[in-house]
Amino acid sequence: MRTALAVGADGDAPMPFSSAEIEAGRKLFAADWQFVAAAGTLERLPPMRGVEIAFAGRSNVGKSSLINALTGRKALARTSHTPGRTQELIFFQATPALALVDMPGYGYAEAPKAKVAAWTALIHDYLAGRANLARVYVLIDARHGLKDADADVLKTLGVAAVSYQIVLTKADQVKPAELEKKISETAAVIQKRAAAFPEIIVTSSREGSGLPEFRAAIARLLKERA
C-alpha cells in the first residue's frame, strides 16, 4: 500500500517533505502532549494561546485515534467503537505555540436530538469564529468518502474562509485500488473549493501510515505561522 500520503488534486506526486521537515514533525509530536481544556459551550473555550488546529469529521471517523497516533499516546484522547464518544471540544498542548483540538463528531443520527443540535451549533460556531484557528483537518473515512453530513461543515469553513485539508482515515481498511479511487473522487470535489488545501492526506492510525508526513505538514504550518 502507498505510504507517502498526500496526493495532489490531479493525482500527481506525493507532497514533498524534506528529511529536515519530517524530523521537525517527529520532534514536535515527540513532545509531552497534555490535556489542557474541554469546552462544551463557546463560553467555556480556553483563552487563545498560539495557533490551533482542529480535527473535525463524522462520528467514529477516527479523530481521537488520529490525535493519539500523531502524539504517540495510546489514550490521550478518548476513543470508542461506538459513535458519539467525544462530546466537547478537547484541547491538547505540548507547547504554548500550538493546540490540537479534538472535536465532537457530526452526522450521528442516533444521539438524542437536543445533544446533536448542541454539538452541531458548537462545531459550527467554533469553526467559523475562532480567530487563531490556523487549519482544520476534515477527516473522511476512506471506505465511505465524502458524505452529505460533511457538506455543511465544508460550507461553514468556506464561508468563514478557514483553510482546511481533507484527511482520509482508516486506509488499512481499503484495498489499494479502492483507495486510489476514493482519493481521486475526493480530490475532484475539493478542487472546486477555495478554502480547501488541494492535497489529500491519507492515514491509518492503526498501521501508522501517513503519520510522519502529517506531522511534517503540521510542523510546516506552525513554522509558517510563527
Q: For residue 65, with 0-12 CB atoms within 10 Å meaning exposed, 13-18 middle and 19 or more buried, which class applies?
A: buried
Q: Does 169 bind Mg ion (CB under 5 A)?
A: no
- Decide: is 85 part of the binding site for ligand GTP (CB under 6 A): yes
142 or 162: whose CB is closer to ligand GTP? Answer: 142
Q: Interface mask (CB under 6 A) for ligand GTP, residues 93-132, using x and -? A: -----------xx---------------------------
Nearest partner of 203 among 192, 191, 214, judged by Cα:
214
Interface of this chain with ligand GTP, residues 185 to 214, rule: CB under 6 A: 204-206
Q: Which is nearer to Mg ion, 64 or 165 (CB)?
A: 64
Contact status: 169 vs ligand GTP (CB under 6 A): yes
Interacting residues with Mg ion between 70 and 89 (CB under 5 A) = 85-86
Alpha carbon distances (Å) from 169 to 115, 145, 210: 25, 10, 10
112: Cβ–Cβ under 8 A, 6 or more apart, which residues? none
DSSP secondary structure of 163-175: -EEEEEE-GGGS-
Identify the CA nearest to 100 among candidates 145, 65, 129: 65
Is the Cβ of residue 23 or residue 172 nearer to ligand GTP in the bound state? 172
Among positions 85-114, residues that touch Mg ion (CB under 5 A) are 85-86
Integer Cα distance of 34 and 93 in angstroms: 6
- Alpha helices (H) in the chain, listed in sequence order: 19-30, 63-71, 113-129, 148-159, 176-190, 211-225
The partner in contact with residue 130, picked from Mg ion, ligand GTP, none with C-beta cut-offs of 5 to 8 angstroms by kind, is none
Residue 64 binding Mg ion, by CB under 5 A: yes
Residue 64 or 165: the one with the smaller Cβ distance to ligand GTP is 64
- In the bound state, the residue with its beta carbon closest to Mg ion is 86
| Residues near ligand GTP, by CB under 6 A | 57, 59-65, 79-81, 83-86, 104-105, 169-170, 172-173, 204-206
